[in-house]
Amino acid sequence: MEIWINPRCSKCRSALSILDAESAQYTVRRYLEDPPTEDEFRAVLERLGLEPWDITRTGEQVAKELGMNTWPRDEPARERWIAALAEHPMLIQRPIITADDGSAVVGRTEEAVRSVLPE
């Protein structure tokens, strides 16, 4: 599995602690240093079953500067959202965990993190 993290984020550190406590095998991706591509966003959104606006931190300053709260949240606007996430990875909700079985979660809660652990 892979986990997209910002080391300064408490939710990311908590998710890593859970994975470590369960001896999970995972790869860390520091997405601010190694930003996902637009294609990677499309793939992870499909795995999550979410839209780009569902994983966007619209309270961030750059989101306010871009006026993202006024952007349509529909299929024609989808690529605009994906491009913004790729260009400004600090807008990504975190951590995002992609599991080996093809599932993925935004691991903001202990339950979400545990949901991708092998049984």
Domain CATH number, residue 27? 3.40.30.10
**Residues 51-87: tens digit of each pLDDT:** 999 999 999 999 999 999 999 999 999 999 999 999 9
- Domain total in the chain: 1
Nearest to 81 by CA among 57, 46, 107, 105: 57
- For 112: left if phi > 0, alpha if psi spans -120 to 50, otherwise beta; the answer is alpha
Question: What's the whole-number mean pLDDT along residues 96-106?
Answer: 94
Cα distance between residue 92 and residue 55, in whole Å: 6
118: pLDDT confidence band, cut at 50, 70 and 90? confident
Q: The domain containing residue 43 runs over which residues?
A: 2-115
119: pLDDT confidence band, cut at 50, 70 and 90? confident
Cα distance between residue 111 and residue 7, in whole Å: 20
Q: In what order do the strands lie in the sheet with 2-5?
A: 27-30, 2-5, 96-98, 104-106
Looking at residue 64, its pLDDT comes to 97
**Residues 10-37: tens digit of each pLDDT:** 999 999 999 999 999 999 999 999 999 9
The set of catalytic residues is 9
Would you call 100 exposed, middle or buried from its count of C-beta atoms within 10 A (0-12, 13-18, 19+)? exposed
Looking at residue 6, its pLDDT comes to 96
Q: In this structure, are residues 35 and 12 in contact, taking their beta carbons and an 8 Å threshold? A: no
Question: What's the whole-number mean pLDDT along residues 100-116?
Answer: 94
Specify which residues 5 forms β-bridges with: 30
